[in-house]
Structure 1
């Protein structure tokens, strides 16, 4: 299936991680020109190098989503290489495990800046060009914890949930301009972060990461963790011309894990 995004300018924030890297590769495989952005330059360069070796178009650049003052220079660099951003994928790193009670206000504030405020501000900066062009894609990756709160991940559950309200509201504001706004929710995808969470849970429960992963997989209807490639493919579809009538929605890529309707 031709997703009809060849030659588009895509910016993947958090593109050096497991999910972000898979998204970057999926977009590049469809012919998008991908700017792979993230805090760790080495990681995004690895992803960009892999894409180029496979015949795609990509470059890496440093972006700290909590440093709002740096966004203008980053977007100028993307525009100089690929043109104004037409596909923006927002994916932020996950906060450390914490309970809901007893977390210092400064901790909440710091993660709000990097997980919510940075996403909103970066999106605001790319929207004018999308509106004037009459086409754009805003896709934000969150967590299944916004639908069914995950124990001991209170910061993630709380802050990521706010991005759903923002995305739904924004979709109604920009739909008339041909810009779609959607959220993608991963279930248990086999990434380094999920492995760390399994290891932390194993330590709390005097178990092993392998036992934790087996128990988690047994509660998923498909009886396995998803792959980053499966997640990337779903995001690439939402970015496509074929998904032009999908906006303001949440797509779960979870193997049936989340029990709510």
Structure 2
């Protein structure tokens, strides 16, 4: 299928990581010019190198999502190099495992700023241009915890859930201007973050990590962890022209893990 997005420009937040990197790579394969934004400049440049080696065009941007003053400057750098941003992929790192009760208010504020307010501010920066051009995609990657809260991921469950209400509201505000806004929810995707969480659970519950993995696999109807490219393929489709009538949706890429309707 031709996604009809060759030549457009995309900004992928967290593009140096497992999921973000796969999204950046697959968009580049569709002919998209990709800005790979990450707090780790080395990770961003490694992804840029992989994209360029495969014949694509990409730009690495060191981007700390907690620094609001850097947003306008970073957006300007991307657009001066690649052109107007037509596709925004909001993909942020998650907080450490924790119960929801008794967390320091400072932790709530800090993670709310980097995981939620930064996403809103960056979107506010690029959506006016999308509306004026009559075409745009805002795709926000969250967590399965927004549908079925994950034990001991209290901060993540609560903060990421707020992005669902925001995205749905935004979708209604900009739909008539050719801009779609959707949320994508990963199940157990095989990344370093997932491995970290599995090991943390192993230590917390005093189980061998192999037992944690086996229990996780048993809960997934597909019987395996997803691949980052499988998740990225869903994001790429939502970014494409054929998905122009999909907006305000929450798309699960979870191998059947989430049991609710």
- TM-score grouping bracket, smaller chain normalisation: over 0.9
- Equivalent residues of 1:10, 1:34 under 8 A apart: yes
Residue deviations 1:223-254 (CA, integer Å, cap 9, x gap): 10000010111100000001000000000000
Match of 2:113?
A: 113
User: Alignment partner of 2:109: what SS?
Assistant: helix
- Equivalent residues of 1:8, 1:86 under 8 A apart: yes
1:90 aligns with 2:95: no
User: Alignment partner of 1:2: what SS?
Assistant: coil
Residue deviations 1:195-227 (CA, integer Å, cap 9, x gap): 000001111222122221111011111010000
Range moving further from structure 2, 199-208 or 139-148: 199-208
Residue deviations 1:154-202 (CA, integer Å, cap 9, x gap): 0000000000000000000000000000000000000000000000111
Match of 1:33?
A: 33
Q: TM-score, normalized by length of structure 1? A: 0.99
Match of 2:150?
A: 150
User: Alignment partner of 1:24: what SS?
Assistant: helix
Instruction: Give me the whole-angstrom Cα distance separating, in 1, the residues matched to 2:22 and 2:16.
Output: 9
Q: TM-score, normalized by length of structure 2? A: 0.99
> How many residues were matched structurally?
261
- Equivalent residues of 2:222, 2:256 under 8 A apart: yes
Match of 2:169?
A: 169
Residue deviations 1:16-56 (CA, integer Å, cap 9, x gap): 11000000001001000000001010001000100000111
User: Alignment partner of 2:85: what SS?
Assistant: coil
Instruction: Give me the whole-angstrom Cα distance separating, in 1, the residues matched to 2:189 and 2:254.
Output: 8
User: Alignment partner of 2:162: what SS?
Assistant: helix
- Equivalent residues of 2:29, 2:56 under 8 A apart: yes
User: Alignment partner of 1:3: what SS?
Assistant: coil
1:136 aligns with 2:136: yes
Instruction: Give me the whole-angstrom Cα distance separating, in 1, the residues matched to 2:168 and 2:48.
Output: 31
- Equivalent residues of 2:84, 2:129 under 8 A apart: yes
Moved over 2 A (4+): none
Q: After the TM superposition, which residues 200-219 of structure 1 pair with which residues of structure 2 at under 5 Å, given as runs?
A: 200-219=200-219
- Equivalent residues of 2:59, 2:78 under 8 A apart: no
- Equivalent residues of 2:13, 2:36 under 8 A apart: yes
- Equivalent residues of 2:9, 2:86 under 8 A apart: yes
* RMSD, matched Cα: 0.6
Q: After the TM superposition, which residues 1-261 of structure 1 pair with which residues of structure 2 at under 5 Å, given as runs?
A: 1-261=1-261
User: Alignment partner of 1:86: what SS?
Assistant: strand
- Equivalent residues of 1:195, 1:209 under 8 A apart: no
- Equivalent residues of 1:49, 1:59 under 8 A apart: no
User: Alignment partner of 2:224: what SS?
Assistant: coil
Instruction: Give me the whole-angstrom Cα distance separating, in 2, the residues matched to 1:37 and 1:193.
Output: 18
Q: Which runs of 5+ in 1 are unaligned?
A: none
